[in-house]
């Protein structure tokens, strides 16, 4: 675990860190050779369950999907999101973090927030839990439409201060979500630990995307999402071909039948 963490931290200012999400063995296995970090994100709430908020994601859901993904991860660092209302105080956070690590064999957990959870982060790290931070847009806290962060000066100062504070308390990296470009650059240059951007410019030390967005499985209209493939169209074509062959009695052939 610690060697993997050290390897990620040592990539700072040397090479970009690649992070993608996975919620199952098959996807994790396909990604593992091309990623440095695989995040089992609570984004699975919207991606897999069509929830309108990550707040509906439970600890049990995160654990079961993480157990599946773990089977496909051999090389990458595995990080699991701690879902909403699982780290409201130090004792709850430690109990749930230990449960996640024990049952999923992940390398680290990720928590959203800065000043409001800093004592919790500090407590976890003192108890030898590896923590990834998360600043900017905080999906577990957002009730309105997502808006990028760092436009107003007071907001910029707060996010920068929280990034420095998280570093001091011992997180090994920080996700910057929807953070204004020049602020993301300033934070990344000021920290000794790596930043992982999502909608926060090329200036971050690495990038993360939701894999289903990358593959074109979702009809996401978010500005920072780029579709690197259109798997949905391939699924449609495969289903159409299957339908045609079944109707025309071309499938299954003797080759696909027992005799």
Please state the domain extents for the chain.
Answer: 2-228, 230-259
Collapse the DSSP code of 175 into the 3-class scheme (helix H, G, I; strand E, B; otherwise coil) and give the result: strand
Structural element, H or E, at residue 231? helix 231-247
Q: Which CATH superfamily is domain 2-228 in?
A: Phosphoenolpyruvate-binding domains (3.20.20.60)
Structural element, H or E, at residue 4? helix 2-9
Confidence of residue 2 (pLDDT cuts 50, 70, 90): confident
Q: 191-202 burial, b if ≥16 CB within 10 A, otherwise e?
A: bebbbbbbbbbe
Residue of 112, 177, 180, 245 marked catalytic: 177
Mean pLDDT of all residues in 16-38 = 98
Segments in 10-135 forming alpha helices (H): 25-31, 44-49, 59-70, 90-104, 118-126
Residue with tokens 């500090």: 122
Q: What is the token pair recorded at 200?
A: 């926060």
**DSSP letter assigned to residue 177:** E
Q: What is the token pair recorded at 30?
A: 């396909």
pLDDT score of 189: 98
pLDDT score of 5: 96
Mean pLDDT of all residues in 175-186 = 98
Q: What is the rounded CA–CA span in Å between residue 135 and residue 159?
A: 7
Each residue of 222-250: pLDDT tens digit? 888 899 999 999 999 999 999 999 999 99
Active site includes 144?
no
- Indicate the pTM of the whole model: 0.95
Nearest to 76 by CA among 40, 42, 45, 112: 40
């Amino acid at each position: 675990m610690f060697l993997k963490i050290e390897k990620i931290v040592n990539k700072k200012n040397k090479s970009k860190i690649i992070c993608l999400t996975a919620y199952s063995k098959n996807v994790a296995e396909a990604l593992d050779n091309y990623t440095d970090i695989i995040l089992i994100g609570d984004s699975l709430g919207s991606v897999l369950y069509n929830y309108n908020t990550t707040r509906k994601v439970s600890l049990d859901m995160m654990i079961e999907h993480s157990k599946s993904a773990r089977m496909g991860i051999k090389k990458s660092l595995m990080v699991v999101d701690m879902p909403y209302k699982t780290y409201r105080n130090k004792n709850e956070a430690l109990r749930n973090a230990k449960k996640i690590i024990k049952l999923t064999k992940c390398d680290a957990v990720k928590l959203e927030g800065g000043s409001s959870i800093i004592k919790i982060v500090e407590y976890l790290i003192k108890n030898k839990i590896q923590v990834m931070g998360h600043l900017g847009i905080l999906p577990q806290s957002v009730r309105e439409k997502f808006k990028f962060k760092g436009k107003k000066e007071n907001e910029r100062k707060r996010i920068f201060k929280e990034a420095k504070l998280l570093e001091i308390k011992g997180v090994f990296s920080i996700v910057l979500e929807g953070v204004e470009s020049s602020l993301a650059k300033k934070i990344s240059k000021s920290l000794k630990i790596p930043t992982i951007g999502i909608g926060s410019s090329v200036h971050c030390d690495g990038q993360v995307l939701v894999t289903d967005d990358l593959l074109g499985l979702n009809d996401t209209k978010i500005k920072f999402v780029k579709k690197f493939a259109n798997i949905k169209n391939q699924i449609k074509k495969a289903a159409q071909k299957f339908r045609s062959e079944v109707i025309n009695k071309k499938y299954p052939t003797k080759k696909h039948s027992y005799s």
